[in-house]
Chains A and B, each alone.
Chain A
Amino acid sequence: MNNAGLESSIYEELRGYSEALNRYLIKLKTEPANARFTPPKEVAELIQGLSENFPGEVSMQLLSSGLRERGAFPLVRVKRLRTALDSGASSRETIQDLEELAQYLGRHQAGAFARLRRTR
C-alpha cells in the first residue's frame, strides 16, 4: 500500500506514450515532407485519451487534467491534432503540436520518476 506501485505504473504508462510519440516525431521530421504516416497506436491512444473527460488510465487522467489546468493546450487543440493525425498528412503546425506534447509528457515523466525514486 505504498506509492511505488501507483508511481511505477504511471511512469511506465507515460514512458510508453513518450517512446511512441518521440519515434513518430523523428519519422515525421526525417522523412520527405509530403510523406503520409498513420500515427502508431500508442500516439492515437494518447490523443484520444487526452480528449476524454474520464480516461481509464491513471497516467492519462494526470495528463489530461494537467493540460487543461495549464490552459496552454486546450481541448480544441487536442481535437485539431486528432483530425490532422487521422488524415495522415503532416504539417509544420502538427509537428509543433506534437513537439509541445512530447515536452509536456517529458515533464510529467520526470515528476513520476522522481516520485518513484522517493518511494522505492
Chain B
Amino acid sequence: MQSHVEQRGASGQGAPVRGMTPSDAAARLRYMAGIRDRARRAVLLPAVVALALGGIVVTHGALIALWPHAAVLSVAWLACLVVARPGLVWQRRRLERRRGLLGATRLRVACGAAGVIAAVAAIVASADPLVSAAAGSVALAAYLGGVPAVALAALVAGVAGEMAFVDGASRPAGELLVGAGLVAAGLACLAMERRSA
C-alpha cells in the first residue's frame, strides 16, 4: 500500500511527499486505524473486561436469588469492590509491565465514565444499574478496541435485560441473563482475537 513516490527505509527525512492519491491516503488511514485498534485492544482488553464484568453480574444475580436482602447485599458487594480496588490496580499495572504496554488513562476513564453514566440512567429509569454499568463499559471498551460486533452484543444484552426488568421480570433472572450474555460476548471476543493473531 506504499505510495510509489514515498521514501523507503528510515532515511527519507526532509524530502517532500508527492503523488499521494486519495486511494493511497485512504489506505494509509485504514492502516493507522488497524494499528490503533490493536493497540487499544491491548490496553483495554475488551474480552477480559466482558468476562470479568459478566462474571460479576452473574454472581450478583445468583446471590440475590439465594438471599432476599438484596439491598444490603448490593452495598456489601460494592464495599468489597472498593476494598479490593488497590489489589486490582496493582494486578493491572503488573500485567501492563509484563506485556510492555502502559495504557493511556483517558481510555480507561472513558470506559468507566460510560459505566457510571449508564448506571445513573438506569437509576433514573428505575432499571438495574449494575446491568447497565457492566453493559455500557463492555460496549465502549469493545467499540474502542475495534470489535463493534462484541460492542453491539453487549448493548443488546444490556438493553434486553433492562427491558425485561422494567417489564416485571425478576432482578436475579435479568442479571443472570445479561451476565451470561456478557460472558458469551467475552468468549466470542477472545475467539476473534485468537483468529486474527
Asked whether A and B interact, the reply is no
Give the interface of A toward B (CB within 8 A): none
